[in-house]
């Protein structure tokens, strides 16, 4: 049995020049746990999810592990296939699709 956390970050950092948008973030989440990330605008919440998923960029340093296996060097589609996905904050729908089709599209 694997006792590793389902998702773990170790010393995760993302730099943009001199700016550290994510600075040395470490946490672990066990299977079945639910956590939230909170903070004011510009505090790095979206950037944290970006570096975990590799979309649109990877961490500058640190590690992301899924079930104890490193995923931070994988390409975004490989991370997605491994089971780490993200959604984007969009308030638009596909006008040509029904409500069911819009919801279904976001789930696949």
Structure tokens at 13: 């950092």
Q: How far apart are CA 21 and CA 13, in angstroms?
A: 8
Global confidence as pTM: 0.79
Q: How many domains does the chain have?
A: 1
What residue numbers bound the domain in which 61 lies?
7-107
Q: How far apart are CA 53 and CA 50, in angstroms?
A: 5
Q: What is the number of other CB atoms lying within 10 angstroms of the CB of residue 44?
A: 18
- pLDDT tens, 5-30? 999 999 999 999 999 999 999 999 99
Residue 68 sits in a domain of what CATH number? 3.40.50.300
Strand partners of residue 70: 65
**Local confidence band at 108 (pLDDT 50, 70, 90 cut-offs):** low
**Local confidence band at 68 (pLDDT 50, 70, 90 cut-offs):** very high
Whether the Cβ atoms of residue 13 and residue 59 lie closer than 8 Å to each other = yes
**Local confidence band at 104 (pLDDT 50, 70, 90 cut-offs):** confident
H-type helices in 1-108, by residue range?
A: 45-53, 76-82, 99-107
Task: Look at residue 1 and tell me if it is in a domain.
Answer: no
């Amino acid at each position: 049995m694997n006792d590793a956390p389902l998702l773990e970050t170790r010393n995760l950092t993302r730099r943009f020049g001199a700016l550290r948008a994510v600075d040395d973030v470490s946490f672990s989440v066990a299977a079945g746990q639910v956590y939230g990330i909170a903070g004011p605008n510009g505090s790095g919440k979206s950037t944290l999810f970006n570096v975990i998923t590799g979309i649109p960029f990877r961490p500058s340093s640190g590690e992301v592990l899924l079930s104890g296996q490193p995923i931070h060097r994988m390409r975004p589609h490989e991370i997605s296939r491994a089971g780490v996905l993200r959604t984007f904050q969009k308030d638009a729908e596909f006008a040509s699709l029904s409500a069911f089709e819009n919801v279904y599209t976001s789930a696949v």
